[in-house]
A = this chain, B = another copy of it.
Amino acid sequence: VKNNDPMVYHGYSTSQGHLSCRKAIAGNLNKRFKREYSPNDLFLTCGAAASLCITFRALTASPEDEIIVLAPYFPEYKVFIEGQGARMRLVPSRNDMRLNMDGIKEAVNRNTKAILINSPNNPSGVVYTKEEIKALSDYLMEMQEELDKTIYLISDEPYRELVYNDEPPAFIPDYYDNTIICYSWSKSLSLPGERIGYVLVNDKCKEKEVVMAAVGGAARALGYVCAPTLFQLVIERCIDVKPNIEAYRKNRDILYDGLTRMGYKVAKPDGAFYLFIEAPDGDSEEFSKKAKEHDVLVVPGAGFGTDTHIRLSYCVETEKCVKALPVFEKLMKEYK
């Protein structure tokens, strides 16, 4: 980076982002997922929140438009969707935190613009199986025909590289053409403060040029001039860097094994760095307070749309995870 002209690394890029950076990203995706993306399918953004807001704004034409969100969900989704003038329609979570197809079938209607999925999920850590993604895709294709309209599948994937299964998770565009991916390097390169990510409009998306133009227009209307240019160059040079997930996996195993042994109900987290734990009596506010008294910080689930559960993050030192277990054990005894 030091050898470049300062105009290159501190000057504006095009609003879509430096071509060389988008080339590197497309090349990386094509290699890993055996696709044929071009740099024109990508729009660089100031991080995942920007990617989502830009996508919601690009797809929203009327205040009746709905984006379907599946609980448990990242609470900012509601702010971002409503901030762009659309409505959020919430599908309740299943007890096991798997994809709630019945709930989705009840939610889809004439006003559905898109359905938003987040796998690996924040707050549950659940990674949808290929079968789940296929079932969702098949259903959406059916509904597109029945309603004679396009329904987009927005895949929010900031945790895509943080998966602990041997088999890689489904790449959504392989199952559904009208997919838009919102990505960020905040988690995979651990630089959340730098605000760098992208929107990918799938190359098989219907009228993809129109969608990409809407993405560009939305970014402009929201004041996103371009993604930070120095970090565009960083991404270009670090495109093949893989995060070291062993520390996360170790923490996950310690906590998941320990908690289930104590009798806690927890969906197995195959990705991200969260555990979503059912409060023994279903009162997550009360449980969170008690845990805090023992210096264990957890987030009650109401904000995630599932008030029976608490979220525990294991993006911490392993020692902290080990120390948390006796607290959970003590608390469980209080409930018995």
**Does A76 touch B at the CB level, under 8 Å?**
yes
Q: Which residues of B contact A226 (CB under 8 A)?
A: 193, 195
Q: B80 to A230, Cβ gap below 8 A? A: no
Indicate how many identical chains form the complex: 2
In the complex formed, the residue of B with least CB distance to A8 is B193
Q: B194 to A82, Cβ gap below 8 A? A: no
- A25-33, A45-53, A160-168 - interface stretch: A45-53
**Does A12 touch B at the CB level, under 8 Å?**
yes
- Nearest CB of B to A262, in Å: 31
Q: B222 to A47, Cβ gap below 8 A? A: no
In the complex formed, the residue of B with least CB distance to A191 is B10
- Nearest CB of B to A233, in Å: 10
Q: A193 to B53, Cβ gap below 8 A? A: no
Residue picked from A53, A190, A225, A226, most chain B C-beta under 10 Å: A225
Q: A83 to B228, Cβ gap below 8 A? A: no
- Nearest CB of B to A195, in Å: 5
- Nearest CB of B to A232, in Å: 8
Binding site for B on A (CB under 8 A): 6, 9-13, 46-47, 49-54, 76, 79-80, 82-83, 85, 190-195, 220-232
Additional 10 contacts, C-beta under 8 A, given A80-B223, A195-B226, A222-B223? A9-B193, A10-B191, A11-B192, A50-B223, A50-B224, A83-B221, A193-B230, A194-B230, A228-B231, A230-B230
